[in-house]
Amino acid sequence: KPRLILVLGDQLSEGLSALRAGDPARDVVVMAEVMAEGTHVPHHPQKIAMFLAAMRKFAEALARAGWRVLYSRLDDAQNSQSIPGELIRRAAETGAGAVIATQPGDWRLVRALEGVPLDLSVLPDDRFLCSQEAFAAWAEGRRELRMEYFYREMRRKTGLMMEGDQPAGGRWNFDAENRKPAGRDLLRPSPLRFEPDGEVEAVLALVEARFPAHFGRLKPFGWAVTRDQALRQLEHFAAHVLPRFGAEQDAMLEGEPWLSHSTLSAALNLGLLAPMEICLRVEAEWKAGRVPIEAAEGFIRQVIGWREYVRGIWALAGPGYMDLNALGAARKLPPVYWGAPTRMACMAAAVGQTRDLAYAHHIQRLMVTGNFALLAGLDPAEVQAWYLAVYVDALEWVEAPNVVGMALHADGGRLASKPYAASGAYIDRMSDHCRGCGYDVKVKRGAGACPFNLLYWDFLNRHRERFARNPRMGQMYRVWDRMDEGHRAAVLADAAAWLSRLDRGEAV
């Protein structure tokens, strides 16, 4: 009897554990485009198109490699429109009684598979460099989980940028040399984008017809949808963009949506590229003396450090993590996240490029839209659903820890020891948005005051009990307490008035 080998949309890797466990002479690969996955949050049209196009291309590659692939297209009449439904249908069709799967990166799907009435084996997803068991062993008995220590273990384990058992250059972390504001530069290289071929065009037409109401522009579409394209994108990044990666990592500029970021997260999360091959390519540029150590180390830290760390947290915490709300935040997500006009130039830029490109870089996600959600006390469940919907690289295992833990501190500090809360001064230092803004970043209260300034103090004041004793935040409470009482009262009153305008749906 054949067995069904399930390949999900983010499992497009030739070396996937489920494929390795199967036998092309006997088993059948099942892949399915289903409405349930396209609509459980209103995914950005570019994201849906990228997944569908990449799945179709991968199915062809598997067929060329000798696999029998049963592929359900979204508009196939018999499509049951859910993953469990398609497994049951294909089992009946082929006589298969068993399913081999690789663990999904979404607890909703993990549970859905468990409910399928077939003999199911779920294998670990060993495309990650750190297994769930290894992460759990590292976390065991630690009072605090800190990314920096995890990262050092990962450097030792992978041998990346190591000299014996010491880090290359004598330090683990070169961020002191990174994170500068960026200047205008007409010669800054852009990421490689790809013209859709006929097959991708067909997917774009399908998405246009089936998901007309989803937030986001479908075109121009330029994401990599094959391994070959993803490798070219990596090559282009390593050769042209990487040298500035570190320096510009935290910068924001009007009209520069990509700056010197790799834009590789989508291809990486689909499975078209492997984390180690990306890092080896980046390390090779540094070894050849073509990029500064801080650029290579900073990049490798994001991939073998942060990316593996958030995945470890997601796996360790289990499904309950997505419901956490340690700060009791309950405000509804305001229309500005869906592109409503706003005087806030930084929010308009981050949300606008999200609508147009399904992409914003880390600091926009963390320090603009994330910081706003934290300070304004937006409901974590609504914020999560937004991030999961709008970014081309968003999958629960990586989106949830970044939103719940990093941006919103809704996990009570499991992922980060203090909230990433900041006033307008941070955004002003790292960007050129404030110059063209309808608010004034230098104004702390009263007419025209930057909302981030008002909301920052309102947030600290609101959560005094929780944060005043945090050693990394005590200083800010001392600053607040030294301010004139009348000034403090006016700031809080202005913040309340501003938030009630937000709640009434007025343009802010």
# residues near ligand SF4 by CB under 6 A: 14
Count Cβ atoms below 10 Å from residue 214 Cβ, excluding itself: 20
Tell me if 383 contacts ligand SF4 by CB under 6 A.
no
Token pair for residue 416?
A: 């980060």
Count Cβ atoms below 10 Å from residue 489 Cβ, excluding itself: 11
362 binds, among ligand FAD, ligand SF4, none (CB under 5 to 8 A by kind): ligand FAD
Token pair for residue 428?
A: 């002003």
Tell me if 2 contacts ligand SF4 by CB under 6 A.
no
Tell me if 334 contacts ligand SF4 by CB under 6 A.
no
251 binds, among ligand FAD, ligand SF4, none (CB under 5 to 8 A by kind): none
Q: What is the DSSP string of 89-124?
A: HHHHHHT--EEEEEPPSSHHHHHHHHTSSSEEEEE-
Among 295, 421, 450, 473, binds ligand SF4 (CB under 6 A): 450
Tell me if 125 contacts ligand SF4 by CB under 6 A.
no
Tell me if 405 contacts ligand SF4 by CB under 6 A.
no
Query: Which of 250, 432 has the CB closer to ligand FAD?
Result: 250
SS3 349: helix
Tell me if 434 contacts ligand SF4 by CB under 6 A.
yes
Is beta strand 28-32 parallel, antiparallel or unpaired with respect to 98-102?
A: unpaired
Tell me if 292 contacts ligand SF4 by CB under 6 A.
no
Tell me if 499 contacts ligand SF4 by CB under 6 A.
no
CA dihedral of residues 363, 364, 370, 371 (deg, nearest 10): 70
C-alpha span between 409 and 405 (Å, rounded) = 5
Tell me if 218 contacts ligand SF4 by CB under 6 A.
no
Residue recorded with tokens 């005590």: 474
Residue recorded with tokens 């683990």: 172
Residues that bind ligand FAD (CB under 6 A): 261-265, 268-269, 299, 302-303, 306-307, 310, 361-362, 365-366, 370, 387, 391, 393-394, 398-399, 402-403, 406-407
Tell me if 411 contacts ligand SF4 by CB under 6 A.
no
Tell me if 225 contacts ligand SF4 by CB under 6 A.
no
Tell me if 451 contacts ligand SF4 by CB under 6 A.
yes
Query: Which of 411, 428 has the CB closer to ligand SF4?
Result: 428
Residue recorded with tokens 């309808």: 438
Q: Up-side HSE of residue 411: CA atoms within 13 Å toward CB?
A: 25
C-alpha span between 223 and 215 (Å, rounded) = 18
Chain positions contacting ligand SF4, by CB under 6 A: 344-346, 424, 427-428, 433-434, 437, 439, 441, 450-452
